[in-house]
Amino acid sequence: MLKLNLQFKLSVLFILLSVCVLCLSSYFIYQKAIVEQKGQLSSRLLGLAKLSSMLIDAKTHSQIKPQRDSQGTVYYKEIEATLKRIRDTDAIVDSVYTMVKSDRENIWLFVVDSGDRQRGNVAYCGEPYDVSAFNEMKRAFFGPSVDRELTEDKWGVWLSGYAPIVNNIARRWR
User: Mind listing the pLDDT tens digit for each residue in 95-151?
Assistant: 888 999 999 999 999 999 988 877 778 889 999 999 988 888 888 888 899 988 888
pLDDT tier for residue 168 given thresholds of 50, 70 and 90: low
SS3 at position 165: coil
Q: Which domain holds residue 151?
A: 7-170
Asked whether the predicted pLDDT for residue 170 surpasses 70, the reply is no
CB 144 within 8 A of CB 162: yes
Sign of CA dihedral 69, 107, 123, 40: positive
- For 106: left if phi > 0, alpha if psi spans -120 to 50, otherwise beta; the answer is left
3-class DSSP assignment, residue 158? strand
Q: Is the Cβ–Cβ distance between 83 and 98 less than 8 Å?
A: yes
Alpha carbons within 13 angstroms on the beta-carbon side of residue 50 total 15
Q: Is residue 48 part of a domain?
A: yes
The model carries a pTM of 0.75
Q: Domain for residue 1, yes or no?
A: no
Q: Reduce the DSSP state of residue 152 to 3 states and report it.
A: strand
Query: Residue 113 pairs with which residues in a beta bridge?
Result: 97
Asked if residue 1 has pLDDT above 70, the reply is no
For the stretch 17-59, pLDDT in tens is 999 999 999 999 999 999 899 889 888 888 888 888 888 888 8
Q: Note whether residue 28 is domain-resident.
A: yes
In a domain, 2, yes or no: no
Length of the chain: 174
Total domain count, the chain: 1
Residue 154 lies in a domain: yes
